[in-house]
Structure 1
Amino acid sequence: MTAISKRALLGCIADDFTGATDLANMLVRGGMRTTQCIGVPTVDETPDQASNPAPPDRFDADALVVALKSRTLPAADAVAQSLAALDWLRAQGCRQFLFKYCSTFDSTDAGNIGPVTDALLDALFAEGEERNGSHGTHAFTIACPAFPENGRTIFRGHLFVGDALLNASGMENHPLTPMRDANLVNVLQRQTRSKVGLVRYDTVADGVAAVSDAFAALRGQGVRMAIADAVSDADLYTLGAACADFALITGGSGIALGLPDNFRAAGLLDDHADAARLPRVEGLSAVLAGSASKATHAQVAAWRETRPAFRIDPLAAARGEAVVEQALAFAQPYLDQAEPVLIYATATPDEVKAVQRELGVDAAGHLVESTLASIARGLRERGVRKFVVAGGETSGAVVQALAVRTLRIGAQIDPGVPATATGGDEPLALALKSGNFGSTDFFEKALRHLDQLEHAAHPEQSGSHDGATR
């Protein structure tokens, strides 16, 4: 039997922070000890200053997830960040790579899913280059954002959100990446110079061998990327098994379901019953919401029925009003009583558009993110150590503001959303939620979960190894 590797097996690049934790959640559920890195890790003389690339073997994990904030960047910037992440993951000895994006395929006709996939394939299959630790011999990959557990399914190349096609799901109103075409073959083809194909559901239903044959046929037709149908978790396991020898896989977090078993079958992965265990974090709690999604709207409304909440007005912040100070002043009496508060910028599509018309799309988004990030810093100074954050862009801004560098991934709270914790002398517990995810009572549920994290009996059992978090 092959010796168990002491270095990471799977290297993942996620285009936003909540997507990264969503993916890491899937891997932990599959028994892979997983560390999420905020940006490309570096060697630090002190925890907050970085300069040199981090050396191999520093992270005792089976899977490494590099969380970028690249989903809505210009395509060239997203490509550059993704390639830097790939270089670092290859240096850690990873054998396979996964590019993770949203289960609603959030992107525009300019990218960034297509350009990043092209660049990663080019880097992994450079002519004459022997790829370190990667498998497969052809520049070919799949694109499968399906996440059936959360209602995202793909049938004949079309993405459904619940019973609605993507373009009638509310995503057509997304302020940054409006999705107005449910045919993913067409969406991806507009983003890439590569030929895009389709692996249909009937092929997936026929099993791993049929899918592998379909991959070979598509490669023979010059296809480099194939949308893969999936309407159930069983389909994702089939696709995962068929991709066992791929150097690169792309998709939503669901595509990771079958990957741990591939490494286990190869004798490279031990079973880790405690892969999701996190240490207890003491301190106050707060909820921050910046997403404008339908799910987050419902979660905010449910919280406000019984709990204190303060709404951020972006136009007031743009006028120079002391919005951050007002929010913190509102929160203080509740924090004094150890009662969690919600501070939110969640708004209706019409309200978002009105702000964007006045401030501009990019400026409006940045203003909300920076305001909530400043509030997060203020809350930490007031003793908050447990944060629930709604929205991918908001989560990215908050973790950066809190100087979070790495996260250990714990158990699932709701589909796609795990608990996470940092290390260090003053650890934080965080639940970072994609705007579209979570039940209506998610905020309450997440806070209960973070309050109930158990002390690990031994550091090696919790995954809180020296160097695993900073």
Structure 2
Amino acid sequence: MLLGCIGDDFTGSSDLANTLSKQGMRVTQYSGVPTAPADPSVEAGVVALKSRSIPAGEAIAQSLAALDWLKAQGCTQFLFKYCSTFDSTPEGNIGPVAAALAEALEARKVVVCPVFPGAGRTLYQGHLFVHDRLLSESGMEHHPLNPMTDADIRRWLARQTDMSVGHVGFTEVRKGAAAIAEALTRADAEGARLIVVDALSDADLMEIGAALDGAPLVTGGSGIAMGLPENFRRKGLLSGEGSAWQGVEGPCVVLSGSCSTATRGQVARHREAGLPVFEIAADDAVAGRLDPQAIADWALAQDARPLVFSSADPEEVRRAQQTHGRETVAAAIETLFSAIARALVAGGVGRLVVAGGETSGAVVEGLDLTSLEIGPEIAPGAPALRAVPAGGRPVALALKSGNFGGVNFFAEADAVLRGH
């Protein structure tokens, strides 16, 4: 294994695996830290954690455990992947985890670049944009778990860690890889260890990737990985075989626990099409009034592609959190979706389309999936995945971050997962 990656949620890890696969690496995504060695043919391993919104100390411990396993597989470069909207609170977890990994690897000049142009995420003068809006005006300021109220990534990161934060601006980035490498060296000489780097396009990310040849640690969104495989290819280290993919027939069910603007639009389109829906209310989930087997039976009885969702309006989510507590609501909904997914797969479902990072993590954990094959891209940041639950039949999955995909994503994902 050449490149070892640590993702702070499942959908983001899938996004990263997709990026690396498209660039020609043989990629496997792992659910949690594996307990056995990797297949020797794997060139990039992505360890998907569920560490974005847990206490910072726990996120650090999990990330360091993943680092130890990846080091044992022979990796020479490591990537800490987080969301392209830098989802975190002023306390963490991005800064604390990045700092801990830097210390463990004795790494300097650690790039921080959440940019993903394909999804409209760009960074200019240290400020993160979502399309033409500052991050803090994009709707992310209303996120129920990680409200992003400041678009200045330098300032946000400095609130999370005592490690010095620097910046390489777009003026240097547009000059190419050599200039970027020199700017990183200057920032290092000035005492900065975590260095925010501007980028507006995929071409910028390719140049940044070239400048990071040999860097022990890189951090960012999936876009920062675009230019890394070429460094290994130039050295003749890639097989050139890429990844294989095969779709799965059988029923398809959509599970959505995201209340992002994009996902709510996808839910609305599904309803407009007259397809079956089952809405989960947070109050009912917390009170234990919902039977996951009964919900799965309802979904399995539908002729069309059914949707089970808890993608409520953000105001409704906040009301439930204020009534029951944020952690209580999140745990109840995730536990419910996990149980529903198990019942669906046991009932013969061949394809699951899952919206929301936390929901996706709960589904993968519920199905006890230890590794996932990376398939074709459904939408930017959302690849098709295939896994075989213990003792079961293959299941194809789309694990979508809440903000990703167009309004027809559910239908598009179903077609790709089927192999059509």
Q: TM-score, normalised by structure 2?
A: 0.97
Deviation at 1:305, TM superposition (A): 1.3
Q: 1:147 aligns to what?
A: 116
2:366 equivalent to 1:401: yes
The aligned residue for residue 285 of structure 1 is 252
Distance in 2 separating the partners of 1:118 and 1:320: 40
SS at match of 2:80: strand
Give the conservation status (yes or no) of the 8 Å contact 1:109–1:190: yes
One of 291, 294, 312 as aligned partner of 2:280: 312
1:377 Cα offset (Å): 1.2
In 2: Cα distance, 1:358 partner to 1:329 partner = 30
Superposition map of 1:34-183 within 5 A: 34-42=27-35, 54-55=36-37, 57-125=38-106, 139-183=108-152
Aligned position for 1:357: 322
CA RMSD of aligned residues (A): 1.2
Whether contact under 8 Å (2:109, 2:185) holds in the other structure is no
Query: Which deviations, in whole Å up to 9, do the C-alpha atoms of 1:272-304 show, x marking residues without a partner?
Result: 2xx243123232211000001000000000011
For residue 29 of structure 1, the aligned residue among 22, 25, 35 is 22
| Aligned twin of 2:158 | 189
Q: Which amino acid aligns with 1:267?
A: G
Q: Look up the equivalent residue of 2:403 and give its one-letter code.
A: N
**Per-residue deviation at 1:371?**
1.0
Tell me, yes or no, if the aligned pair for 2:247 and 2:416 is still in contact at 8 Å: no
**Matched residue SS, 1:263:** helix
Deviation at 1:15, TM superposition (A): 0.2
**Aligned pairs for 1:306-455 within 5 A:** 306=273, 307-334=275-302, 337=303, 339-423=304-388, 426-452=393-419
Paired AA for residue 16 in structure 2: L
Task: Give the conservation status (yes or no) of the 8 Å contact 1:198–1:227.
Answer: yes
CA distance in 2, matches of 1:187, 1:263: 33
Residue deviations 1:432-466, cap 9 Å, x none? 0000000110000000111116xxxxxxxxxxxxx
Structure 1 counterpart of 2:135, which letter? L
Distance in 2 between the 1:434 and 1:447 partners? Answer: 16
TM-score, structure 1 length as denominator?
Answer: 0.87
Q: CA deviation at 1:326?
A: 4.4
Larger radius of gyration: 1
Deviations 1:153-173 (A, max 9, x none): 000000000111000000000
User: Any conservation in 1 of the 2:257–2:355 contact (CA below 8 Å)?
Assistant: yes
Contact 1:419–1:430 (CA under 8 A) maintained in structure 2: yes
Structure 1 residue corresponding to 2:189, chosen from 204, 217, 220: 220
Q: Secondary structure at the match of 1:384?
A: coil
Distance between the aligned counterparts of 1:87 and 1:319, measured in 2? 40
Length, aligned pairs only: 417
1:71–1:107 Cα contact (<8 Å) kept? yes
For the residues of structure 1 that align with 2:129 and 2:72, how far apart are their CA atoms?
38
> Is residue 2:263 matched to residue 1:296?
yes
SS of 2:83's partner is coil
Report Cα offsets for 1:307-338 as digits up to 9, x if no partner.
1111011212223313424423432321xx4x
Report the Cα distance in structure 1 between the residues aligned to 2:395 and 2:205, rounded to whole angstroms.
33
Q: Does 1:245 align with 2:238?
A: no
Unmatched runs of 5 consecutive residues or more in structure 1? 1-7, 43-53, 126-137, 454-470
Secondary structure of the corresponding residue to residue 435 of structure 1: coil
Structure 1 runs of 4+ off > 6 angstroms? none
Evaluate the alpha carbon distance shift between residue 239 and residue 59 of structure 1 in structure 2; reply closer, same or farther with a 3 A threshold. same
**CA drift at 1:59:** 4.7
Contact persistence 1:316–1:323 (CA under 8 A): no
Amino acid of the structure 2 residue aligned with 1:358? T
